[in-house]
Amino acid sequence: MNDINNRILLAEDDPNLGTVLKDSLELEDNYVELFADGEQAWKSFNKDDFDICILDVMMPLKDGFTLAKEIKKVAPKMPIIFLTAKSMKEDKLEGFKLGADDYITKPFSFEELQLRIEAVMRRVNSSILPSQQAEFTIGKYTYVDNDRALKIGDNSTKLTTKEAELLKLLAHNVNKIVDRDVALKSIWGNDNYFTGRSMDVYITKLRKYLKADDRIEIVNIHGQGFKLIVKNS
């Protein structure tokens, strides 16, 4: 089974276009969840983990601009690409004001969309903790940043963008306390209740990924944050 490149939330109300885009993106080893309206997409965004959102502007129940506003409130750093039949300058400006990373006018080729996704994700990944090494070890594990791959022996786990950010932040401060608020603001963009709960879920996931080396532990320092402990390192 191939590693997943990106976890993509795709909101497109045209069933034919949505299915074609989903199938094409999955052929490029992306994981894609497709929704026909903004309301369904918003519910899924709050339950699942995505690396990038691709949103049609004109959708029933909740349009793309409204959905983007809600996403940016809880995840200010989430990359967003708008798809639209609208080519008016005012609409594009509105999209970029909402924090869109790109804006594609229909009709477009899949190759163009794929290249734009890759360009956006390169910008996102290069802006995350730029002082970090491209590859480093944590106990028996090796982390390769270009692939967001956490490796031990013959096993390799592809991390999501936020899992990778959090792991790098902890590893950069190994055996030191990482302040909870600092982690939330640097990775999620704010430190509200919902992002706090989200980070707790990611900490649980990282503990699971690192459990093959009993020298490694992520501990919760009550009232302060988290500490990645690597014994005998």
d(CA 59, CA 67): 10
d(CA 200, CA 81): 28
CATH for 187? 1.10.10.10
d(CA 181, CA 169): 13
Look at residue 88 and tell me if it is in a domain.
yes
Listed residue (60, 112, 54, 61) closest to 84, CA to CA: 54
**End of a domain among 103, 126, 149?**
126
The answer to whether residues 11 and 53 touch, using CB atoms and an 8 Å cutoff, is yes
**Assessment of whether the complete model's pTM goes beyond 0.75:** no
Residue 127 pLDDT exceeds 60: no
Instruction: Clarify whether residues 16 and 118 are in a common domain.
Output: yes
Residue 18 pLDDT exceeds 50: yes
CATH for 27? 3.40.50.2300
**End of a domain among 106, 126, 146?**
126
Per this entry, what is the length of the chain?
233
Look at residue 78 and tell me if it is in a domain.
yes
Look at the chain and report how many structural domains it folds into: 2
Look at residue 49 and tell me if it is in a domain.
yes
Instruction: Clarify whether residues 32 and 49 are in a common domain.
Output: yes
Instruction: Kindly write down the DSSP assignment for every residue of 58-126, as one continuous string.
Output: S-SSS-HHHHHHHHHHH-TT--EEEEES---HHHHHHHHHTT-SEEEESS--HHHHHHHHHHHHHHHHH
Q: Specify the pLDDT at position 132.
A: 52
The answer to whether residues 190 and 133 touch, using CB atoms and an 8 Å cutoff, is no
Which segment, 10-14, 80-84, 97-101, 118-122, is predicted with the most confidence on average? 10-14
Instruction: Clarify whether residues 117 and 141 are in a common domain.
Output: no
Look at residue 1 and tell me if it is in a domain.
no
Instruction: Kindly write down the DSSP assignment for every residue of 153-175, as one continuous string.
Output: TTEEEEPPHHHHHHHHHHHHTTT
Whole-number mean pLDDT of the chain? 85
Tokens of 173: 């401060």
d(CA 134, CA 125): 11
* Domain housing 86: 7-126
Look at residue 225 and tell me if it is in a domain.
yes
Q: Is the peptide bond before 107 cis (omega within 30 degrees of 0)?
A: yes
Instruction: Clarify whether residues 15 and 117 are in a common domain.
Output: yes
**End of a domain among 126, 160, 186?**
126
Q: Percent of the chain, pLDDT > 70?
A: 91
